Amino acid sequence: MAITHHASRIYYFFTRTPAGVTYNQAQFRVASLSILHYNPGKFFQEDPTDTQIKANYHQIPEEHISAKAFLREISETLLLTILIFWAVNAATGRFRIDGSSMEPNLHNGQYIIINKLMYQLREPERGDIVVFQYPHDPSRDFIKRVIGLPGDEIKIERGSVRINGQSVSEPYIVQLGAYSGTWELNPGEYFVLGDNRNNSSDSHNWGILPGKNLIGKAWVVYWPIQDWGAVPHVSLDPGDGSAHAAGG
């Protein structure tokens, strides 16, 4: 009962302390020891008033409180800004299109946002426009369209693409490529082509793209401002000779 009684006095003492009051360390130790040794004589014999507390403990200047609050607010804002910046850069990237290999759909000098999380959640699909590290020089980034997936057989005859023996319609290109060839894709390998078939360095001349080189999916054109908008996605369906456009 004695411990409970004196503990309630300490609780009352601290909860009655007015704003801006700090505790004298020596008096705090006396108050604590009086409870430990069951000695109420060293503690308040009656409930302390605000006047008593202010008389015994010094007041923190208001300018110190304001400065601390301001510094805390600045620190929290900076920390939040850093966290947001880190999250945005972890999830997205920026890429400048250099050249005409993706004409007529993407243009030289455009800036796009890359979704770097997309392929952590699902596998690339035929028709995706992707940014990747060039297999023969990882310091260079390329942008092309996915045509073949792991396990596919890609056959091009005078520019006409067939996937696993089935023809594919590609309404997004202006001119067929002036080349032919056959490629077998192993697990983790992709076949990519530029939309400007006769002016593109892609899988038809340097080979397959390892999946580990993928950076992300082209997501949004953000510059020039008049070109702002989602990069259109086209789903290629081998066999029915069609291609279906969709946003993003």
pLDDT at 91 over 70: no
Long-range contacts of 225-234 (CB under 8 A, 24+ apart): 227/107, 227/110, 231/106, 231/112, 231/129, 232/105, 233/127, 233/128, 233/129, 234/127, 234/145, 234/171, 234/172
Give the tens place of pLDDT for each residue, 39-48. Answer: 444 444 444 5
Q: What domains can you pick out in the chain, each with its CATH number? A: 2-56 (no CATH), 94-246 (2.10.109.10)
133-186 pLDDT, tens digit each: 999 999 999 999 999 999 999 999 999 999 999 999 999 999 999 999 999 999
Among 99, 118, 119, which Cα is nearest to 110's? 99
pLDDT above 70 (res 22):
no
| Average pLDDT over every residue of 84-98 | 78
Question: Which pair of tokens denotes residue 29?
Answer: 């130790």
Active site residue 144: yes
> How many CA atoms are closer than 13 Å to the CA of 234, on its beta-carbon side?
18
Total-model pTM? 0.66
Active site residue 54: no
Pick the closest to residue 42 from 53, 57, 54, 27 (CA basis): 27
CA separation for the pair 230, 106 (Å, rounded): 11
- pLDDT classification of 247: cutoffs 50, 70, 90: very low
Q: Is 89 left (phi over 0), alpha (psi -120 to 50) or beta?
A: alpha
CB 193 within 8 A of CB 202: yes
> Which of 126, 84, 147, 120 is CA-nearest to residue 214?
120
Catalytic one among 34, 101, 200, 203?
A: 101
Residues with Cβ within 8 Å of 28's Cβ and at least 6 positions away in sequence, in order, are none
> What percent of the chain is modeled with pLDDT above 90?
54
Q: How far apart, in whole angstroms, are the C-alpha atoms of residue 8 and residue 11?
A: 5
Residue 88 has which token pair? 């945005």
Query: 186 or 66: whose pLDDT is higher?
Result: 186
- Give 203 or 8, the one with higher predicted confidence: 203
Of 144, 155, 203, 217, catalytic: 144
Query: What's the pLDDT score for residue 61?
Result: 59
